[in-house]
Amino acid sequence: MLTHLTIKNYALIEDLSVSFQKGFSTITGETGAGKSIFLGGLSLVLGKRADLSSLRDKELKCIIEAEFEIEQYGLKSLFETYDLDYDQRTILRREIHPNGKSRAFVNDSPVNLDVMSQLGQRLIDIHSQHQTLELTENEFQLKVIDALANNSQLLSTYKEHLKVFEGAQKELKRLQTLLADAEKEQDYNTFLYSELHNAPLQGGILEELEASYDELTNVESILEQLSNSHQLLANDEIGIQALLAQCKLSISKLAGYGAAYAGLYERIQSVFLELDDLSSEIETLQEQVTPNPGLLEEVNEKLQLLYNLQKKHNAATIEELLLVKEDLATKISTSENIEHEMEAQQALITTTQKELTLLAGKLYERRIAVVPTLKSKLESSLQPLGMPNASFEIKFIHTESFQNTGRDQLIFEFSANRGAGYGSLKKVASGGELSRIMLVIKSILATYEKLPTMMFDEIDTGVSGEISNNMGDIMQQMSANMQVFSITHLPQVASKGDHHFKVYKEDDGEVTRTRMKKLSPEERVVELAEMLGGKSLSDSAMAHAKQLLN
């Protein structure tokens, strides 16, 4: 419920502050007094885009602040979704700055316009003759029927299953694309994996093969150097061993002359034994090292294979090639894993589809059951509004596809005159008829669900007399369950309000300002009399005004 509205520096409004109560409030004022300005300011705090030209003083910012009592609207989850502080008395504030920037706040927390708009739609429904297109939309018409059928919980369960169903369908499609891509690369990946699998990819193998290759390609030089080394060590006349044997013999003769000479002898003996062992090892290597063209070719082939694989996979080491091999093995097994995931998603789709079919069927049955009630309520409520022959034809087509509202396509047709054919509301109903139909539908909805504050903007344009009186009665009846505002030019409607506000212009000779005030009982009589007979305030107009109020 809207409890207070403040508008500063907006169009002709310099500073407006007004409080509202529950029940039915009527708002009147002469043409051009600023009722549309009042609505424009309110729309800004409900999330409408700002226009810099609406600033009264271009040097100051415009501020619109609306306070609501929201306890009965069930909005805690919405506040939690957007991480906003929840308060039963919630304030929406909008600021438009001279530099063109706009800021929005909910309980002093900054929000974007989308959040403010979502919240605003749940708090106030502004309806005028030019805003009846919603009535012609299938989704809104279904909403009316679902309200009468008390389908809220059933529809919520259906939407939860639909979300799972559509998610599973989307995931299955993704997996199918993934599998198709994987299958395209399957043969190539298998070939690459086979190459790596058959290659000798042991740790250190590259260094070992490179060493073998160097040895096998230089075997003649190795044998030559080994032979020379063996000659230098083992030649009988000039070999190192023969010369060292002579040296050892000489030193052995000194060994008995003291510890120093004995030490020398032991060291020479040690060197002699080491050289003898070295000579034997060189001789053994000479016997082992032999030219082997076959082995050289085999080692060269393995090296070239590893070099090529490193180049192909941009790998610097054998370890990196092993990682590539592991990755290819994963890719090859991906197809099999994807198929298992696809089976799981298909099973989920099948299960959820059965549940959706069952829930959609229940929705259809409950909707069909309330059609006669809705048809009767609409037609009987429109009779006193100057539409005595209004008739509706409401039918359902059960479709195969799952929509957000079920599987029902609604055919909602209207005829204003007896004997005339039925047609869609958009085609056969006039603007005035659409307004009255919307008023009746909103009044019906008000008895079945908690609606936001309703603001009717001159929907009674073009009607008069008893019809306007009956429209006022409907809005007054609605206000028993909700807060209702009516901006009106008709005294019959204005007199029905529990509270009466007047919008007027004030001119001090220099500037014109739009004001708004709540009328006292005496002021209401005068206002209604002026609406009935003009500024002259005849006795008959005053009497008629009092009669309307009583």
Q: Based on the domain organization, do 121 and 189 belong to the same domain? A: no
Same-domain pairing of 192 and 326:
yes
DSSP 149: T
Question: Is residue 42 assigned to a domain?
Answer: yes
pLDDT at 129: 63
Statement to judge: residues 79 and 209 lie in one domain: no
Say whether both 317 and 230 belong to one domain: yes
Q: How far is CA 137 from CA 3, 267, 328, 440, in A?
A: 32, 112, 55, 16
Name the token pair of 350.
Answer: 């099948």
Give me the CATH number covering residue 482. 3.40.50.300
- Same domain for 199 and 109, yes or no, is no
CA-closest candidate to residue 443, choices 485, 408, 479, 417:
479
Could you report how far apart the first and last alpha carbons of the chain are, in Å?
27
Give the number of C-alpha atoms closer than 13 A to the C-alpha of residue 266, restricted to the C-beta side: 7
Residue 205 domain-assigned? yes
Residues 6 or more apart whose CB falls under 8 angstroms from that of 35 comprise: 27, 29, 487, 503
d(CA 221, CA 289): 11
194 in the same domain as 120: no
- Which range marks the domain in which residue 330 is found? 181-335
Instruction: State whether 257 and 125 are in the same domain.
Output: no
Residue 142 identity (one-letter amino acid)? L
Identify which of 487, 486, 404 has the alpha carbon closest to the alpha carbon of residue 443: 486
Q: Is residue 39 part of a domain?
A: yes
User: In 3D, which of 534, 498, 538, 541 has the Cα closest to residue 518?
Assistant: 498
Residue 398 lies in a domain: no
Whether residue 529 is contained in a domain is answered as no
Q: What is the pLDDT of residue 131?
A: 60
Is the same domain home to 330 and 186?
A: yes
User: What pLDDT score does 522 carry?
Assistant: 94
Residue 347: other Cβ atoms inside 10 A: 11
pLDDT tens column, 335-360: 778 888 999 999 999 999 999 999 99
Given 279, 313, 335, the domain boundary residue is 335
Please report the pLDDT score of residue 389 as a whole number.
92
Each residue's pLDDT tens digit in the chain (550 positions)? Answer: 999 999 999 988 889 999 999 999 999 988 877 888 888 889 999 888 887 778 888 889 999 999 999 988 889 989 999 999 999 999 999 999 988 889 999 999 999 999 999 999 889 988 876 566 677 788 888 989 999 999 999 999 999 999 999 999 999 999 998 888 877 777 787 888 888 888 888 878 888 887 777 777 777 787 778 778 877 887 777 788 778 788 888 888 888 888 888 888 889 888 888 888 888 888 888 777 777 777 778 878 888 888 888 888 888 888 888 888 888 887 777 777 888 899 999 999 999 999 999 999 999 999 999 999 999 999 999 999 989 999 999 999 888 899 999 999 888 999 988 888 899 888 888 888 888 898 999 899 888 888 889 999 888 887 877 898 999 999 999 999 899 999 999 999 999 999 999 999 888 777 888 999 999 999 999 999 999 888 778 888 899 999 988 8
Contact predicate 349/162, CB 8 Å: no
What are the backbone angles phi and psi of residue 536, rounded to the nearest 5°?
Answer: -65, -25
The C-alpha torsion from 11 through 17 and 19 to 23, rounded to 10°, is -10
Helix ranges (DSSP H) in 235-317: 240-252, 259-288, 293-312
Q: What is the pLDDT of residue 205?
A: 81
- Point out the domain boundary residue: 305, 335, 365: 335
Q: What six digits make up the tokens of 189?
A: 């990946």
Q: Are residues 217 and 83 in the same domain?
A: no
Q: What is the torsion angle, in degrees rounded to the nearest 10, for the CA atoms of residue 207, residue 210, residue 212 and residue 213?
A: 170
What is the C-alpha separation between 28 and 526, in angstroms, rounded?
Answer: 12
Structural domain contains residue 19: yes
- The reported pLDDT for the residue numbered 191 is 84
149's CB contacts (< 8 A; 6+ apart) are 366, 367, 369, 370
Distance CA 170, CA 177 (A): 11
- Tell whether pTM > 0.95: no
> Which residues have CB under 8 Å from 522's CB, separation 6+?
none
Q: Is 402 inside a domain boundary?
A: no
| Domains held by the chain: number | 2
Q: What is the pLDDT of residue 429?
A: 86
Contacts 24+ apart (CB under 8 A), 71-77: 72/1, 72/450, 73/122, 73/123, 73/450, 73/452, 74/450, 75/119, 75/122
Give the HSE-up count for residue 158: Cα atoms under 13 Å, Cβ half-sphere. 22
The residue from 292, 312, 335 where one domain ends is 335
- Can you state the percent helix, strand and coil of the chain, rounding each to 5? 60, 20, 25
Same domain for 308 and 237: yes
In a domain, 176, yes or no: no
Contacts for 138 with CB less than 8 Å, ≥ 6 apart: 409, 410, 412
Distance from chain centroid for Cα 206: 53
Dihedral, 335, 337, 338, 343 alpha carbons, nearest 10: 130
Are 105 and 187 in a shared domain?
no
Distance of CA 269 to the CA centre of its chain: 90
| Pairing mode, strands 391-403 and 124-128 | unpaired
Q: What are phi and psi of 537, to 5 degrees?
A: 55, 65
Same domain, 255 and 325: yes
